[in-house]
Each structure stands twice: as structure tokens, then as C-alpha cells.
């Protein structure tokens, strides 16, 4: 795993792909639901990159080629049999501009659906029952992509799943080295503390992979 860009931001700043300046032509950006917006997609396209981004139910409106809205939720509701695949060519709209997108989805296994529902109930602070919309979307993994049909639905979803391996690395770093427990307040001190922790984590990760130590 290589790092090309990394930024320290204030707690008041949201996550956005528009912060990154080194997107190269044909580079594939893989991102989670927090980055799924028309603004992010348009930014990647303008830099000639490609993307595979997990969708939320309210990420944006989708349109057919004739300009009429397309209800993806209704399409999902038709059949949630585990393994069912969906592959649609649609559009998103910003101002008067229509941007082509490809929607790929797969219905989860019953075990994964139950896991998703438990996680959603846990994060539901109001303790209200899941809405119909939440229930429908909990049965699927849905991604939006710019990749053409030379790449199959299965390959696109597999590419998205690879993102989780990176998430696991950072999760391990944070749990082992207390990545959120900042002891400094000044910007330069925070950076020095963070880079020190990161270096230690990388050294330990490298040694663990080798599986042997020099005495």
C-alpha cells in the first residue's frame, strides 16, 4: 500500500475527494458512501479519472436517457434474492448537464443482511424501527461507477470489496496505537506525533508480515 496524498484537516471540515490534486488519467478512485455525491463524481471525471463509489439511498437523483427520473429503490424492491445482480446505464444531473453513470448492485446473503440491519439499528439513535427505504437498501451493495462494460459487474464489485482491506489496516493501526488519542494541540506537534505513530505502525506491520525477527 502506497500513500500519494494525505491531509490534516480541522474537525469542522468534511471529507471530500476534491481536496486531492494528483488524480491521474484512468486512475480508479474507490471510495465509501461518504464520498458519493455529484460534486465528487464531476471532480473525478474532470480530472479524467475513473471511480467506484458506494451509494446511499439519497446520494442523488438518477435519470434515464430520455430525461425522466429513475427510481432505483423500486428496482431493488423487485427481487432481493441473494446474488441477484443489477447493471444499469443511467445519468445524474448537475444544472443542465447530464453525466452518464453506471449503477452496479448485488443482493446480499441472508447473513449479511442481518448483520447490516443490526449495525443500522445500533447507529439509529432514535431507536425507531428501520424505515422501508433502509430495509430495502440494507439488502444490497450498490455502487456507482464510470467503468465501461468491458469490466463485468462482478469485477467492479470485487474492486470495491478490496477497499475494505485498506480499511482493516487503518482500523488495526488505530486500535493498536491509539490513533485518535492526540496528546498535542499545536498543528506541528500533532503532525510530529502522528507521523511517529504511523512510522511505528508501519514497522510493526512489516515485521509481522515477515514473520521472523533478528536477535
pLDDT one-digit tens code per residue, 7-31: 777 777 778 888 888 888 888 999 9
Residue 169: exposure state from Cβ atoms within 10 A (0-12, 13-18, ≥19)? middle
For the cut 60, the answer to whether the pLDDT of residue 195 exceeds it is yes
In DSSP notation, the chain reads: ---S------TTPPP-GGG---PPTTPEEEE-GGG-SHHHHHHHHHTT-EEEEEPPTTS--EE-TTS-EE-HHHHHHT---TT-EEEEEEEEEETTEEEEEEEEEEEPPHHHHHHHHHHHHHH-TT-PPPPHHHHHHHTEEEEEE---TTS-HHHHHHHHHHHHHHHHHHHHHHHHHTTT-----SHHHHHHHHHHHHHHHHHHHHHHHHT----
* pLDDT tens, residue by residue, 164-177: 777 777 777 777 66
The number of residues making up the chain comes to 215
For the cut 60, the answer to whether the pLDDT of residue 213 exceeds it is no
Asked if 142 contacts 108 with a C-beta cutoff of 8 angstroms, the reply is no
Q: Say which range, 14-18, 72-76, 202-206, has the weakest mean pLDDT.
A: 202-206
pLDDT of residue 125: 63
For the cut 70, the answer to whether the pLDDT of residue 194 exceeds it is yes
Q: Is the pTM of this model over 0.95?
A: no
Reported as a pLDDT band with limits 50, 70 and 90, residue 182 is low
- For 204, half-sphere exposure in the C-beta direction (CA atoms, 13 angstrom radius) is 11
* pLDDT tens, residue by residue, 35-59: 999 999 999 999 999 999 999 999 9
For the cut 90, the answer to whether the pLDDT of residue 152 exceeds it is yes
pLDDT of residue 70: 97
Mean pLDDT of 87-114: 93
For the cut 90, the answer to whether the pLDDT of residue 180 exceeds it is no
Q: What is the CA radius of gyration of the chain?
A: 20
Could you tell me the three cell numbers for 41?
A: 463524481
Task: Look over the chain and give the mean of its residue pLDDT values, rounded to a whole number.
Answer: 85
pLDDT of residue 59: 92
62 vs 98: CA distance, rounded Å: 10
Reported as a pLDDT band with limits 50, 70 and 90, residue 67 is very high
Domain residue spans in the chain?
Answer: 17-146, 163-209
For the cut 90, the answer to whether the pLDDT of residue 116 exceeds it is no
Amino acid at each position: 500500500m502506497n500513500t500519494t496524498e494525505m491531509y490534516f484537516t480541522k474537525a469542522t471540515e468534511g471529507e471530500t475527494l476534491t481536496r486531492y490534486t494528483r488524480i491521474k488519467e484512468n486512475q480508479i478512485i474507490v471510495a465509501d458512501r461518504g464520498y458519493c455525491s455529484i460534486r465528487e463524481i464531476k471532480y473525478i471525471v474532470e480530472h479524467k479519472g475513473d471511480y467506484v463509489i458506494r451509494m446511499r439511498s439519497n446520494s442523488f437523483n438518477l435519470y434515464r436517457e430520455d430525461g425522466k427520473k429513475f427510481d432505483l429503490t423500486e428496482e431493488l424492491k423487485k427481487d432481493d434474492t441473494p446474488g441477484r445482480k443489477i447493471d444499469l446505464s443511467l445519468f445524474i444531473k448537475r444544472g443542465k448537464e447530464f453525466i452518464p453513470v453506471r449503477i452496479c448492485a448485488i443482493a446480499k446473503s441472508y447473513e449479511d443482511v442481518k448483520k447490516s440491519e443490526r449495525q443500522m439499528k445500533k447507529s439509529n439513535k432514535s431507536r425507531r424501527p428501520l424505515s422501508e427505504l433502509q430495509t430495502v437498501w440494507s439488502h444490497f451493495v450498490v455502487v456507482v461507477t464510470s467503468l465501461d462494460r468491458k469490466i463485468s459487474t462482478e469485477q467492479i464489485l470485487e474492486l470495491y470489496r478490496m477497499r475494505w482491506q485498506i480499511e482493516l489496516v487503518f482500523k488495526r493501526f488505530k486500535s493498536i496505537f491509539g490513533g485518535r488519542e492526540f496528546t498535542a494541540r499545536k498543528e506541528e506537534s500533532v503532525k510530529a506525533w502522528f507521523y511517529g505513530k504511523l512510522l511505528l505502525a508501519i514497522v510493526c506491520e512489516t515485521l509481522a508480515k515477515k514473520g521472523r525477527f533478528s536477535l
